[in-house]
Amino acid sequence: MDIIQTRNSQFTLRRGTADDAALVVAYMRKLGDYQKMLDKITATEADIRRLLSEKKGEVIFGEYAGATVGFIYFYQNSSAFTGQTGLYIDGFFVDQQEQSKGLGKIMLAYISKLALERSCQRLEWGCLDWNEPAIDFYRNLGAYSVDEMTIYRFGPQQLEQHASFFSN
């Protein structure tokens, strides 16, 4: 088990493995509930186990006084636009009763260090426009928003539809 000590003696970080898939799903559901998007969380334990096993995603858990209280799920990406690599945080949540203890700041500090160790030039994540507490937290840490773009997406149905134009 990969345990990382922090400056807070009661708070440690732990690198997750594929065996933590159920815990990742549980934290994604907590995040989805907080974001009023619980119905959008469709990942199963098997899905997450596969992503972690195939190294397509990684997870760090925050443990306070021996109990898991937060997580960051992330993956490495790159940009042909900038020629840079980065880490993208797809899920980040600290249990509400543990917020305001500086634990989220410690977790972001660690993932920032990890990004630098991997020669990344950026760390990115999304935040819902209504989530003022999170926006304030990120801005207080020096993060800035990239407002000049909107993310568009093809889901499975659109992928099938558009891929069919290429089929023989």
Catalytic residue list: 138
Q: How far apart are CA 153 and CA 103, in angstroms?
A: 32
Q: Which residues contact 45 (CB under 8 A, 6 or more apart)?
A: 21, 22, 25
Q: How far apart are CA 17 and CA 52, in angstroms?
A: 7
Question: What one-character-per-residue DSSP string does 50-85 give?
Answer: HHHHTTS-EEEEEEETTEEEEEEEEEEEEETTTTEE
Please give the distance of CA 69 from its chain centroid, rounded to a whole number.
15
Q: What are phi and psi of 165, to 5 degrees?
A: -65, -20
